[in-house]
Structure 1
């Protein structure tokens, strides 16, 4: 659970409650954070200047809040989103952004209360209700999550995302049959819900049913550039011993996102299984170049080098892994073995 502190807002959130929730946001109508001066971020500094010239425009605060949020400036983002709500209480998306900032700031209870208040203010707004249901799910409040989904279906009985959320709830509660039924209903109503296809594939895979591949195929056919779908299918192919097929999918992922380090790392593991040691080493090398803190990639690059008869290079990799993770027992054992042999 992300946060233990329970934060209670008014049932229908008001300006005073929002100000307290935002740690003083809005006290300064000229931009909210005068003490910061120039931040060094040209986008933020430009928006601050625009706010100084037009302090009654809520969209400017939202835009600046978005930049702060993207850069993990959660206090500043919360202040800006709160100020935007003070200026215009009629925009549900402002509440969504504020809740997301609290959630990512490890204040999930506050985030939930923001959404509960938004759902009271906008009782017919389906995106708000779906988001509230999702947050209840995050906090493992399954009954509340499902009650909120029922509210959505009363407004729109054919809402595919509501059925998807039902599936998520049932899956979390280990009710596989009802989870499958819910996901199937979701994708029948809207085939573009890729998460539904992927989750169906994973559930059928867990049951040992080869029908799983059909669902993964549907996901990657409908969304050929969706990395989650491609990675999930690669995991399935790996589990069913189609290693070449899995490697091909990881190559495809890399063409979409060359910075996706897990594609290199997992390819390396597959090449190790196929005894293609030089290819494995190359993939682990790419993984650490993309992600220099990928501890296991250093270990497995060392292992692939050791197996190729490159002890000095392997020692260097094991030592690097141990510098980052001193309790990495496998790396220590391999290192000790090489030193004893040398």
Structure 2
């Protein structure tokens, strides 16, 4: 089952005015080298002259957040100490603690942020997120009940409840809450939540899985992953023509994505259509030139088409990329006779 990651989406967008990506890239560089890197140096120099300027600590925290959330946390906390009434400072400190994996500290900081802005749904949501990470499910669920059930952010309450249900291994409740989240999110659902819901329904062979895969694809038609899984589901449901169409959409969306080429090759191989199988396995090899399986399948297609010399070359390549590839080694022996 896909890991439900909906609770860490939108990091600090609402509270920090700074879009970010998951930041788990803790570099080995020393603190000084980071603080005096090209992008941060100017703010660090300014802080040497104006150490009481909370806005400078906040600005440097934003610059550090993506790559060094632990260092950003210190700057956000310092900014908050200098200006304890500023909600953004406490909120960003909580976000940095959450990303750095310090969930207890995150809960404390989001609580402080809520003291400056009571009943702010975004902060309630983030505090509940930290509580879920600490497995304080009752408190998190109570906070989820405080979130609005309509309008902007209404889906967050259901995402929280879905995450709690996941942790309790309650698939029925997870699906129910994710469906509710999709309903209130309207045209702006979370990608990971859509994919999680589609995956859960797919395992149950429920036909609604397809609509959620398609909806996830429509969020970004250059992302081929949803249509690939749609094709997998359609194959599972014995809808081969529909699966082929989905895989072909993948190829158009992202020509560099190997998986649909392999899937199409497998369909044609299973149908003994070796010419078309070769075409797609060949594309897979070009897309992923170190994939042993792609070379093996292309070799198998070439062998069936009577191109044994070319097949042998590919079997050898497959074996070179996977040293323990028993089937490839057996094929090499067979064609070397």
User: Match for residue 76 of structure 2?
Assistant: 85
| Cα separation, partners in 2 of 1:52 and 1:151, compared to 1, 3 Å | closer
Distance between the aligned counterparts of 2:262 and 2:312, measured in 1?
19
Give the CA deviation at 1:244. Answer: 3.0
Residue deviations 1:34-80 (CA, integer Å, cap 9, x gap): 5xxxxxxxxx64x14544654546435533653xx3xxxxxxx3465
3-state secondary structure, aligned to 2:136: helix
Distance between the aligned counterparts of 1:134 and 1:337, measured in 2?
58
Structure 2 residue 34 is matched with structure 1 residue 32: yes
Q: CA RMSD in A?
A: 3.8
1:292 to 262, 280, 289: 289
Distance between the aligned counterparts of 2:201 and 2:274, measured in 1?
33
1:266-277 superposed matches below 5 A:
266-277=263-274
| Cα separation, partners in 2 of 1:152 and 1:169, compared to 1, 3 Å | closer
| Cα separation, partners in 2 of 1:198 and 1:301, compared to 1, 3 Å | same
User: Match for residue 310 of structure 2?
Assistant: 313
Residue deviations 1:185-207 (CA, integer Å, cap 9, x gap): 11121133254444444333333
Residues 225 and 250 in structure 2, CA contact (< 8 A), matched pair in contact too: no
| Cα separation, partners in 2 of 1:249 and 1:82, compared to 1, 3 Å | same
User: Match for residue 96 of structure 1?
Assistant: 95
User: Match for residue 62 of structure 1?
Assistant: 62
Unpaired segments of 5 or more residues in structure 1? 1-21, 35-43, 70-76, 103-109
Distance between the aligned counterparts of 1:80 and 1:301, measured in 2?
50
| Cα separation, partners in 2 of 1:87 and 1:215, compared to 1, 3 Å | same
User: Match for residue 184 of structure 2?
Assistant: 189
Residue deviations 1:253-302 (CA, integer Å, cap 9, x gap): 23333322223332322332333323333333333333333332222222
| Cα separation, partners in 2 of 1:219 and 1:99, compared to 1, 3 Å | closer
Structure 2 residue 160 is matched with structure 1 residue 178: no
Distance between the aligned counterparts of 2:270 and 2:27, measured in 1?
54
| Cα separation, partners in 2 of 1:256 and 1:87, compared to 1, 3 Å | farther
1:247 to 228, 244, 248: 244
1:150 to 142, 145, 150: 142
Residues 129 and 149 in structure 1, CA contact (< 8 A), matched pair in contact too: no
User: Match for residue 103 of structure 2?
Assistant: 112
Structure 2 residue 162 is matched with structure 1 residue 167: yes
| Cα separation, partners in 2 of 1:155 and 1:177, compared to 1, 3 Å | closer
Structure 2 residue 291 is matched with structure 1 residue 330: no
Residues 26 and 83 in structure 1, CA contact (< 8 A), matched pair in contact too: no
TM-score (norm 1): 0.67
| Cα separation, partners in 2 of 1:156 and 1:54, compared to 1, 3 Å | same
3-state secondary structure, aligned to 2:289: coil
Residues 50 and 60 in structure 1, CA contact (< 8 A), matched pair in contact too: no
| Cα separation, partners in 2 of 1:160 and 1:78, compared to 1, 3 Å | closer
Distance between the aligned counterparts of 2:225 and 2:195, measured in 1?
8
Distance between the aligned counterparts of 1:258 and 1:94, measured in 2?
41
Distance between the aligned counterparts of 1:215 and 1:256, measured in 2?
17
| Cα separation, partners in 2 of 1:221 and 1:54, compared to 1, 3 Å | same
User: Match for residue 303 of structure 1?
Assistant: 300
TM-score (norm 2): 0.67
3-state secondary structure, aligned to 1:280: helix
Residues 146 and 166 in structure 1, CA contact (< 8 A), matched pair in contact too: no
Structure 2 residue 226 is matched with structure 1 residue 235: no
Give the CA deviation at 1:234. Answer: 1.6
Give the CA deviation at 1:184. Answer: 1.9
